[in-house]
Structure 1
Amino acid sequence: MAEYGVWLLAASLVVLVLAAVAIRLLWRLREQTQRENRERAEYERGAAEQGLEARQGISILARSYVGGQLGASELALRVAVLAETAQVEAAFADDIAVFTEMAAALAHIPTHRDWKALSSEQRATYSAEMALLEASYSDKIHTAAGHLCTLR
């Protein structure tokens, strides 16, 4: 009977050690889950703030275009970039698509320093191409910009 007591004590000790390890692992899992939830909430909050700023920027750009302070090509390029980061409501998705489409058509045209490095003939060629694109998208862009002025 005494030898059963030794085995029972050893088995109880093994069970206690395994229970302690399991409790420690469960605690670490709980902490990791809480940390991941906090990080996810921070990310979502940052994405929402970034989306709000992008939507406000799109609205400002649209108002600038409607007010004649910004050209259609520049508007399309800037709105397309902002739209990549913005969480735009479905009601404005079609309007954003017009700018994205025009920006894709303008993608091969150099900008910034590359534009300055072009010869005057190359600039004239690209400017003519931009004017043709602006003319072909004019109605769509003006309508979309009008809708986007109300974007919040």
Structure 2
Amino acid sequence: MGEYGVWLIAATLIIVVLMVIAGRLLWQLREQRRHEHTERSDFQNELVVQGVAAREGISILTRSYLAGQLGASECALRVAVLAETAAVDAAYSADIAVFHDMAASLAHIPTHADWKALSAEQRAIYSAEMGVLEARYLDSLQRAAEHLSNIT
């Protein structure tokens, strides 16, 4: 019995050590899952906040456009950027598509410092092109802007 007792104690000791290791690993896994859940929740909350801010920004831009305080080209570019940077609801997607289309048509036109660096003749050419695009998209931009400015 003495010989079996040593083996029994050794086996018991090994099982206890393995149980402690398994318990520690389970605790670490639980902590990791809790941490991931917290990060995921924070990320989802941030997406919601960005979505609300984007919708408010889009509403302000479209109201400014409808009031004549903002040109169609600038409004289209800004709405397209806001829609891309934050997830917006499906209710917005059809109306925002018009702004995306116009923004894509304007993508080759220089902006900001590049615009200022253009000669007066080049600015006139690009301004004329923007006028043609604004005329082409006028009706659809008006309808989309009216709808977007009323969505809450």
If the TM-score is normalised by the length of the shorter chain, which range does it land in? over 0.9
Supply the distance in 1 between the matched residues of 2:24 and 2:128 (Cα, whole angstroms): 70
Alignment of 1:76-87 (within 5 A): 76-87=76-87
Residue of structure 1 in register with 2:26 after alignment: 26
Residue of structure 1 in register with 2:128 after alignment: 128
Residue ranges of structure 1 left out of the alignment (5+ in a row): none
The answer as to whether partners of 1:58 and 1:151 remain within 8 angstroms in 2 is: no
> Do residues 43 (structure 1) and 60 (structure 2) align?
no
Write the letter of the residue equivalent to 2:107.
A
Residue of structure 2 in register with 1:115 after alignment: 115
Write the letter of the residue equivalent to 1:64.
S
Q: Give the CA deviation at 1:150.
A: 1.3
TM-score with structure 1 setting the length: 0.97
Q: Give the CA deviation at 1:88.
A: 2.3
TM-score with structure 2 setting the length: 0.97
Write the letter of the residue equivalent to 1:36.
E
Deviations 1:1-40 (A, max 9, x none): 2111110110010000000000001001101110111111
Give the 3-state SS of the residue equivalent to 2:150 in structure 1. coil
Moved over 4 A (4+): none
Supply the distance in 2 between the matched residues of 1:14 and 1:55 (Cα, whole angstroms): 61
- Report the RMSD for the aligned CA atoms in angstroms: 0.8
Residue of structure 1 in register with 2:75 after alignment: 75
> Do residues 104 (structure 1) and 116 (structure 2) align?
no
The answer as to whether partners of 1:62 and 1:146 remain within 8 angstroms in 2 is: yes
Supply the distance in 2 between the matched residues of 1:128 and 1:36 (Cα, whole angstroms): 53
Give the 3-state SS of the residue equivalent to 1:149 in structure 2. helix
Supply the distance in 1 between the matched residues of 2:50 and 2:88 (Cα, whole angstroms): 11
Q: Give the CA deviation at 1:62.
A: 0.5
Write the letter of the residue equivalent to 1:134.
E
Supply the distance in 2 between the matched residues of 1:88 and 1:34 (Cα, whole angstroms): 28
Residue of structure 2 in register with 1:62 after alignment: 62
Residue ranges of structure 2 left out of the alignment (5+ in a row): none
Give the 3-state SS of the residue equivalent to 1:31 in structure 2. helix
Residue of structure 1 in register with 2:2 after alignment: 2
Cα distance change of structure 1 residues 87 and 151 upon mapping to structure 2, 3 Å threshold: farther
Residue of structure 1 in register with 2:144 after alignment: 144
Q: Give the CA deviation at 1:99.
A: 0.2
Supply the distance in 1 between the matched residues of 2:32 and 2:111 (Cα, whole angstroms): 46
- Percentage identity across paired residues of the two chains: 63
